């Protein structure tokens, strides 16, 4: 640091130290009021210190989350576009591309509560009541399979929640363990004889290919033609199944189901041109065997039930839609469920209605 710069820095520091005295002398400013200090003093400690009174349950949290958070984080905390995922990622921290969410990565529940309370919803921070924050955090925990659907979060139950990655962090000791890397006169130019690419950003696929890679690929010999083996005689065709009688659908019930289905549309599509998203296509699901949609990777628990003969008839759909995580343990679907039987009836009718 040059001498003039040192003098300037010292002068600035002296002004900061003596500022309160100048302010008092010149009549500038005033002491902060207790309520102003309290407005900034919002931090919550890992042991729950600082938590306000209040409580919130999973079902209320689902509603508050849908109103305030789902636009960015998805109806089931699965994330929208590049907005963060808040659920999922279990057992991925040792992968090359880990999914770091509240359930998989965050070590303290206090961090979740503090962040939601202090910074959310986006653009309207600190507009939520303590009860709403408790409810949202309870829903996020449920979406990560960390609590049951009847869980109520409060000061009293806060420490009952075990975060999976609580022991996944170590104390930052770089001041001692990496002291030998530090240098009072760091190198600013020509610090290495050569610079080489030693790793590739395979997930993002942004590292350019080496020159000549395309030419090498085009010059590679074509694979040998496979030996043609005569086809075996085709077995006799099985008799075609008898057509299933069309189901009469109450149009009013199906229309009501279309409204309820809005809760499902962020993950599932239906009708002509539907594609798999976070969840599989649901076209023709009523009466179909489970786990049969092409191109969708189902959870192992669902595939096990499919192998045991699970069929999505009205009874199984009712049971699943009421409490998905009770019907299929460790299901990938984080939706809390439809509590009202009328809503389930309506959705099933809508799923059976021919797409327009």
Q: How do the domains of the chain map onto residue ranges?
A: 55-160, 251-352
Q: Please tell me the distance from the alpha carbon of residue 1 to that of residue 330, in angstroms, as a whole number.
A: 59
Question: At 311, phi and psi to the nearest 5?
Answer: -120, 140
pLDDT of residue 334: 65
pTM, to two decimals: 0.53
- Reduced to 3 states (helix: H, G, I; strand: E, B; else coil), residue 298 is coil
More confident residue, 29 or 15: 29
Least confident range from 61-75, 83-97, 232-246: namely: 232-246
Question: At 289, phi and psi to the nearest 5?
Answer: -65, 150
pLDDT of residue 307: 92
The answer to whether the CB of 343 falls within 8 A of the CB of 149 is no
Q: Please tell me the distance from the alpha carbon of residue 281 to that of residue 220, in angstroms, as a whole number.
A: 40
Average of pLDDT values for 121-146?
95
Least confident range from 185-194, 213-222, 281-290, 340-349: namely: 213-222
- Long-range contacts from 39-43, C-beta under 8 angstroms, 24+ separation: 42/114, 42/117, 42/118, 43/114
Tokens of 43: 């931090």
Return the CATH class of domain 55-160.
mainly alpha
More confident residue, 350 or 226: 350
In this chain, the answer to whether the domains covering 55-160 and 251-352 adopt an identical fold is: yes
Q: Please tell me the distance from the alpha carbon of residue 211 to that of residue 155, in angstroms, as a whole number.
A: 61
Q: Please tell me the distance from the alpha carbon of residue 136 to that of residue 336, in angstroms, as a whole number.
A: 13
Least confident range from 92-96, 106-110, 337-341: namely: 337-341
Question: Which runs of E-coded beta strand occur in 38-110?
Answer: 55-57
Is the pLDDT confidence value at 220 over 70? no
Is the pLDDT confidence value at 236 over 70? no
- Reduced to 3 states (helix: H, G, I; strand: E, B; else coil), residue 54 is coil
pLDDT of residue 6: 46
pLDDT of residue 9: 46
pLDDT of residue 24: 66
Compute the mean pLDDT over every residue in the chain, rounded to the nearest whole number: 81
Residue 234 CB partners (closer than 8 Å, separation 6+): none
Tokens of 321: 């839609």
Q: Please tell me the distance from the alpha carbon of residue 289 to that of residue 283, in angstroms, as a whole number.
A: 13
Residue 68 CB partners (closer than 8 Å, separation 6+): 120, 121, 128, 132, 136
Least confident range from 77-81, 207-211, 283-287, 345-349: namely: 207-211
Q: In DSSP terms, which residues pair with 153 in a beta bridge?
A: 56
Sign of CA dihedral 260, 263, 265, 269: negative
Least confident range from 9-13, 41-45, 136-140, 187-191: namely: 9-13
pLDDT category at 4 given cuts 50, 70, 90 is: very low
pLDDT of residue 178: 85
pLDDT category at 197 given cuts 50, 70, 90 is: confident
Question: Which runs of E-coded beta strand occur in the chain?
Answer: 55-57, 152-154
Burial class (CB in 10 A: 0-12, 13-18, 19+), 187: exposed
Does the domain spanning 251-352 belong to CATH 1.10.10.10? Answer: no
The answer to whether the CB of 116 falls within 8 A of the CB of 128 is yes
- Long-range contacts from 294-303, C-beta under 8 angstroms, 24+ separation: 298/332, 299/328, 299/330, 299/331, 299/332, 300/330, 301/328, 301/329, 301/330, 301/331, 302/328, 302/331, 302/332
Residue 2's CB is within 10 A of a number of other CB atoms, namely 7
More confident residue, 18 or 316: 316
Q: Please tell me the distance from the alpha carbon of residue 10 to that of residue 283, in angstroms, as a whole number.
A: 72
Q: Please tell me the distance from the alpha carbon of residue 49 to that of residue 47, in angstroms, as a whole number.
A: 6
More confident residue, 296 or 53: 53
Q: How far from chain centre, in Å, is Cα 80? A: 9
Share of the chain above pLDDT 70, in %: 78
Tokens of 113: 């509560």
The DSSP-derived string for 245-284 is PPPP--HHHHHHHHHHGGGTTTT---STT----SS---TT
């Amino acid at each position: 640091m040059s001498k003039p710069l040192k003098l300037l820095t010292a002068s600035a520091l002296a002004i900061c130290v003596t500022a309160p005295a100048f302010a008092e002398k010149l009549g500038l400013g005033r002491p902060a009021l207790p309520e102003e200090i309290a407005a900034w003093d919002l931090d919550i400690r890992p042991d729950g210190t600082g938590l306000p009174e209040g409580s919130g349950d999973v079902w209320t949290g689902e509603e508050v989350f849908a109103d305030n958070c789902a636009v960015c984080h998805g109806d089931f905390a699965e994330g929208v576009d590049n907005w963060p995922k808040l659920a999922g990622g279990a057992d991925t921290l040792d992968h090359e591309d880990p999914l770091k969410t509240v359930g998989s990565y965050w070590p303290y529940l206090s961090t979740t509560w503090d962040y939601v309370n202090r910074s959310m919803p986006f653009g309207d921070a600190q507009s939520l009541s303590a009860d709403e924050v408790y409810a949202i955090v309870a829903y996020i925990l449920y979406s990560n399979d960390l609590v049951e659907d009847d869980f109520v979060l409060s000061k009293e139950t806060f420490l009952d929640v075990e975060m999976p990655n609580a022991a996944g962090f170590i104390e930052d000791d770089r001041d001692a363990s990496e002291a030998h890397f530090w240098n009072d006169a760091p190198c600013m130019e020509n610090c290495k004889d050569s610079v080489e690419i030693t790793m590739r950003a395979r997930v993002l696929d942004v590292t350019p290919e080496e020159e000549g890679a395309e030419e090498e690929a085009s010059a590679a010999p074509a694979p040998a033609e496979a030996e043609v083996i005569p086809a075996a005689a085709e077995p006799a065709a099985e008799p075609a199944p008898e057509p299933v009688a069309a189901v009469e659908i109450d149009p009013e019930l199906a229309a009501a189901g279309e409204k309820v289905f809005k809760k499902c549309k962020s993950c599932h599509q239906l009708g002509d041109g539907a594609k798999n998203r976070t969840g599989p296509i649901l076209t023709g699901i009523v009466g179909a065997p489970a786990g049969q949609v092409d191109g969708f990777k189902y959870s192992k628990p669902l595939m096990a039930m499919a192998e045991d003969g699970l069929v999505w008839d009205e009874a199984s759909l009712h049971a699943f839609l009421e409490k998905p995580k009770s019907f299929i343990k460790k299901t990938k679907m984080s939706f809390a469920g439809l509590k009202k039987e009328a809503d389930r009836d309506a959705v099933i009718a809508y799923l059976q209605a021919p797409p327009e």
